[in-house]
Chain A
């Protein structure tokens, strides 16, 4: 698997870290922050989609739910922003428990529909509960402070939030590499076999769902704090759709693909908004449809296959796509196989 490759290539990891550090110098800082938050959101969603085989179309509930929770904590308690963000993540995890409990029992496509419906319910609740959430006005004027230091400049906030975001990435990565992660993969590939081996499949799925929700929540909380407000947009189904789009674009089950997908989608949106093209859905929808029809491995997956083909030529004998060394399957996930 790519992860162990990465581990063997500290150079790549270092390059990623340098990129993360240099991002606000290369692109407009608020956009850089958006990218970083969406990237963690996409990675967290891929943990569920790529490594557990569950397509959640309702992750906006956790991203947005945490955005509101984090904003409320920051507004009413004045606690430093990392506490607010973590509080948001905890809230997302708690919210994910009942939703996950009811959803994980359902097979693939049903799961997607049910999560979508539950997220819509969260949206309606947030919209109606005006006294708490500000309704359609959004929850405005969220402070961003750390020990009396004002972080309202996006450039500064980016660096303040980066450690938390990186911690989120490390968490996703650790989960995937852990024995727990391997069980998830085996459930994805053959739930009946995993059940027969004595794993409580549903409980594993639920735990993965809650973990994914918590990390999505961390990203959503930081997103809201970074913008200084939480808005209804964050709990709307289009947000779930956008996250799924990022994962598919980057490559399902590649983890880092989602990061690339997030970068591209955010940049593309920003570009289209700047040039004033009305009908962004036409462009993003078309790209997405092409990816689904033709490049199902996504950007990262396709690149990895090409790379593997080359190294394969140089060193015949080594398996082409990924290795089985740490127990992960050699088969690339999410390519024409039951997800």
Chain B
């Protein structure tokens, strides 16, 4: 019953705040902020598969956002006392579920950020809905978050399977590679990607000659690689939807079989800069993929990346930057609302248009709480063109925000 009591108290506090919210004043009194402080909690994978991609470095990014917010508003800041918490969910949805409850209930988190992997993200979305607190998911790719399982308190920030598949499938097809052979891992993520990718290729006038499910996890892709050149007509591109270790396996073997020399290019559904780092750029040189953000993609990105490197000691991945952006936009919304009451902040976020170090030409779509922003079609550089550490990508083109993401799903009712 303690938990219930606490929630009631928080809701009551929120109601008082909403009643007297008069815009951000110099003395944004403590009664407008629940528990006297704004608490941001980064819940992500700090020990399992996504640890290197986001993990503890994203906590650093959120700390940067808080510092920038304080520097920007100084005495005028509505959130005077901001605390950043972090928790590890080890990529286990059960742990994510319990930790999210604990963060909201016991540690008074006003917002939970990041939460990679779809199962964990969907579980936390359920918690956010029950606790009526904000959740901005960055790490998970599933479109379910803004589809059938969307809710008022959940935002999806950065990327999703539609964006990944559509960006690459559409652009590469329009560039002249009409015939595709798709290999995808046979589980939810891969199946989604295959569906979206096929639609994108066909939409751009291309043809998917065949698409094959591969076991997951899998360390031997020879079956598919051997089969590719013999298909009729011969595919011009092999589209792989594999991720992480499987992607590394597939690419190593793709090079073994020298498919590029046999005229079959490689397009990748989901690739993170950490994947390029682990394979070495030469293994992937020429591969095209859609990237939500690249640290060296523009002078603005680079400036932020330099600041990040000074703090975290490495170049940022896109989830790092997205965590910074999400925390910033949340704090800005608190500033505009004059309170950290969830409903008032959500009102400020919905439909908000902005630009920041991560998101250009950005809108938070009110219908489904999906962040729309410009994304890039990137190509991996050969090692000979790499001029500095982590300088792996060449940006080929920008996919504007309104084309990069799917139209709002009618299944989503906030």
Contacts and interface: CB of A to CB of B under 8 A. Distances in A.
Contacts of A273: 87-90, 95, 99
Interface stretch (A7-15, A136-144, A197-205): A136-144
B102 A28 contact: yes
B187 interface: yes
Contact of B187 (A128, A153, A223, A227): A128
A30 interface: yes
A140 B126 contact: yes
Interface stretch (A95-103, A228-236, A243-251, A324-332): A228-236
A130 interface: yes
A229 B118 contact: no
Given A153-B3, A155-B3, A227 B191 contact: no
A140 B3 contact: no
B88 A276 contact: yes
Given A30-B98, A137-B142, A273-B95, A280 B186 contact: no
Given A229-B122, A233-B94, A136 B149 contact: no
Contacts of B216: 127
Interface in B94-134: 94-95, 97-99, 101-102, 106, 117-119, 122-123, 126, 130
B46 interface: yes
Contacts of B94: 34, 223, 227, 231, 233-234
Interface in A123-138: 124, 127-128, 130, 134-138
Contacts of A138: 93, 118-119, 122-123
A31 B126 contact: no
Contact of B3 (A29, A141, A276, A278): A29
Contact of B4 (A135, A155, A278): A155
B47 interface: yes
Nearest to B118: A137
B92 interface: yes
Given A128-B187, A276-B88, A233 B93 contact: yes
B51 interface: yes
Q: With a 10 A CB-CB cut-off, give which of B86, B188, B191 has the most chain A CB atoms.
A: B188
A135 B188 contact: yes
B189 interface: yes
A161 B234 CA distance: 59
A39 to B, nearest CB: 16
A276 to B, nearest CB: 5
Contacts of A28: 98, 102, 106
A155 B6 CA distance: 13
A231 B93 contact: yes
A77 interface: no
A15 to B, nearest CB: 24
Nearest to A126: B187
Q: Do most interface residues of chain B lie in helix, strand or loop, or is the interface mixed?
A: helix
Contacts of A134: 188
Q: Which of A155, A231, A280 has the most CB of B within 10 A?
A: A231
Interface in A248-274: 269-270, 273-274
B123 A229 contact: yes
B123 A276 contact: no
A152 interface: yes
A232 B123 CA distance: 13
A80 B93 CA distance: 24
A140 B88 contact: no
A154 interface: yes
Give the dominant DSSP class at A's interface: helix
B149 A232 contact: no
A186 B118 CA distance: 48
A31 B188 contact: no
Nearest to A232: B119
A30 B102 contact: yes
Contacts of A155: 1-4
Contact of A137 (B1, B51, B89, B188): B188
B367 interface: no
Given A30-B97, A135-B191, A155-B3, A140 B92 contact: no
A134 B120 CA distance: 13
A153 B87 contact: no
A336 interface: no
A243 B106 CA distance: 29
Given A128-B186, A232-B119, A274-B87, A141 B98 contact: no
B90 A140 contact: no
A140 B90 CA distance: 19
A143 to B, nearest CB: 11
B3 A136 contact: no
A228 B97 CA distance: 9
Interface string B1-24: 111100000000000000000000
Nearest to B55: A278
A223 B93 CA distance: 12
B144 interface: yes
Interface in A1-36: 28-31, 34
A276 B86 contact: yes
A142 to B, nearest CB: 9
Nearest to A281: B47
A316 interface: no
A279 interface: yes
**3 shortest A-B CB distances, which residue pairs?**
A135-B188, A278-B47, A138-B119
Interface of A: 28-31, 34, 124, 127-128, 130, 134-138, 140-141, 152-155, 223, 227-229, 231-234, 269-270, 273-274, 276, 278-280
Interface of B: 1-4, 46-47, 51, 56, 86-90, 92-95, 97-99, 101-102, 106, 117-119, 122-123, 126, 130, 142, 144, 149, 186-189, 191, 215-216
Given A137-B119, A155-B4, 13 more contacts: A28-B102, A28-B106, A30-B102, A31-B98, A127-B186, A130-B191, A135-B187, A135-B189, A138-B122, A140-B119, A154-B3, A273-B90, A276-B87
17 contacts: A30-B101, A127-B187, A127-B216, A137-B118, A137-B122, A137-B188, A138-B123, A154-B3, A155-B3, A155-B4, A227-B98, A227-B123, A229-B93, A229-B122, A231-B93, A233-B92, A276-B88
